[in-house]
Structure 1
Amino acid sequence: MKTPLTWLVNTIIRTILYCILKIDISEIKKVPKRGPLILAVNHVNFLDAPVLITHMGSRSFTGFAKRETWDNPLMAFLFTLWGGIPIDRGVADFNAFKAAKDALLVKKQLLAIAPEGTRSGDGRLLQGKPGIAILASKADVPILPLVYYGHEDISQNLRRLKRTPFHVRVGKPFRCKFSGQERNKEIMQAVTDAIMLEIADLLPEKYHGEYRGVTMDRGKYLEYIDSTSGEEIPQALGEQFSHA
């Protein structure tokens, strides 16, 4: 639940962001008001999380953040206020995965995951890590791809006192499909690569990075969701075009 302090802090941060960015968040309205739902996102730089979080409106939202974030007092305050889930990168962090499952299945939240696991810096996609596929196999919830781009040049634009474009695009929902296959390392990576290709589809080609020119039978690993089919995704995405 958003508190008055959360509202105040988000308002201040949005004001600062609009001084340095030209933010196009028109497609945020496609994100459902509640979960359980995984948002599969790319990770460009330090601006990704503040922009997304402060524009989520009344949505109940959380996401992973590297544990080192809490070493900085200001970042610790913000990500605690925002309900971030600390995760140890490079190891199987079972506590973080349990917190993520609780956020999805108990609290019915939206959970943001960046499969790349780290910032690209230049906006070009890195190879995804299979954590998102593992979580999807355990939680069995829909996934919605969401990307941001255009702000990789923020440093040089700040030096020029120039506002930087920040674009947000939202794709179509799907579920991971394992079809009785053994959920081994190879399958989890294949599912992750299929998810990353959904992310790549939303980006201009120059950002495709490791997935530039990559093709695969995504239908083998992903089951696309028709919002008119009656499945609850949540609310069958029926509220996806309500105001953000």
Structure 2
Amino acid sequence: MLYRLLKWVLLGPILKTLWPTKVTGQENIPDRGGAILASNHLAVADSFFMPLRVPRRVTFPAKSEYFTEKGLKGRLKKWFFTGVGQIPIDRSGGSAAQAALDTAIRLLREGNLLGIYPEGTRSPDGRLHKGKTGVARIALEAGVPVIPVAMIGTDKVNPIGSKMWWPRRLEIRFGAPLDFSRYDGLSGDRFIERSITDEIMYALMELSGQEYVDIYAARAKELIAAEQAGVRPDVPSQAAVADADRVPETKAG
């Protein structure tokens, strides 16, 4: 109810008026059945503008902090994200993260659209970063297509660190669905899941026109912070890199 109210009555008309958006490829979104909308991630605004242009409801995994913050502000956040159908996801790994993956798979099997940011967090520099393999695991387990989505211009609307949204013309491109049914039964194979994820990221690179860099966005943030602070960044261990690859995607970060 809250989702429809925000989209069609309260928030949607305002966003469409103030931020005119060119949309292409909407015909690639299925009228029914489960599918993953895998998008690049330039700004928090992505999670508002993309669902606005999808006729069907889109559910995003949202970082669990949105649901656990204390005080009045925390309760309002929990009410909002729960009301619009978002699902909490724990980025710390372990059983909580697996439970979130299981929830995403269940939603897709029930015929829902799931929005995912394979980079795991916002791009800190406007480039497209290495994808995490959670998107591949979900697609294989649920047996659904992956539709690449390119958000263009949202980083100018809502720059990192800015609380203001600035008027800009936007563009959203929905690419052709990617079918991974040839890998049926191979969920859990890290090489297969990495191959699928890289194919998704290549499609996003082609669709968005972004430069691709083969490091995680979270690591890029660390390197940028270290450079700004004038210190030498730590070199992550192979185990840390492997753990980072398994952490599922979040709505914003």
The TM-score normalised by the length of structure 2 is 0.70
Q: What residue in structure 2 maps to residue 62 of structure 1?
A: 59
Structure 1 alignment gaps of length 5 or more: 212-244
The residue correspondences of 1:1-244 to structure 2 (distance < 5 A) are 3=1, 5-10=2-7, 11-18=9-16, 20-57=18-55, 59-70=56-67, 71=69, 72-92=74-94, 93-106=97-110, 108-155=111-158, 163-176=167-180, 177-178=182-183, 183-204=188-209, 207-210=210-213
Once the two structures are overlaid, the 10-residue window that deviates more, 22-31 or 44-53, is 22-31
Write the distance in 2 (CA, Å) between the matches of 1:159 and 1:188. 36
* 1:172 Cα offset (Å): 0.8
Code of the residue aligned with 2:147 in structure 1: it is: L
SS at match of 1:175: coil
Q: What are the ranges of 5 or more consecutive residues in structure 2 without an aligned counterpart?
A: 215-253
Shift of 1:118: 0.6
Question: Once the 2 structures are TM-superposed, how far is the Cα of residue 9 of structure 1 from its aligned partner?
Answer: 1.9
Query: What one-letter code is carried by the residue in structure 2 that aligns with 1:197?
Result: Y
- Deviation for aligned residue 1:63: 1.9
Residues 111 and 73 of structure 1: CA distance in aligned 2, closer, same or farther (over 3 Å) = same
Preserved contact between residue 13 and residue 54 of structure 1 (Cα < 8 Å): no
Counterpart contact for 2:127–2:213, Cα < 8 Å: yes
Report the equivalent of 1:232.
none
Amino acid at match of 1:85: I
CA gap of 1:66–1:180, structure 2 versus 1, over 3 A, is closer
Choose 66-75 or 81-90, whichever is displaced more. 66-75
Q: Which has the larger share of helix?
A: 2
Q: Distance in 2 between matches of 1:79 and 1:159?
A: 19
Contact 2:60–2:116 (Cα < 8 Å) also in 1: yes
Cα distance change on mapping 1:32 and 1:75 into 2, 3 Å: farther
Contact 1:122 1:152 in 2 (8 A): no
Aligned residue for 2:122, secondary structure, equals: coil
Percent of residue pairs bearing the same amino acid type: 31
SS of 1:202's partner is helix
> The residue matched to 1:164 in structure 2 has which SS?
coil
SS of aligned partner of 1:25? strand
Q: CA deviation at 1:34?
A: 2.2
TM-score, normalization by structure 1: 0.73
Q: Is the 8 A contact 1:145 1:199 kept in 2?
A: yes
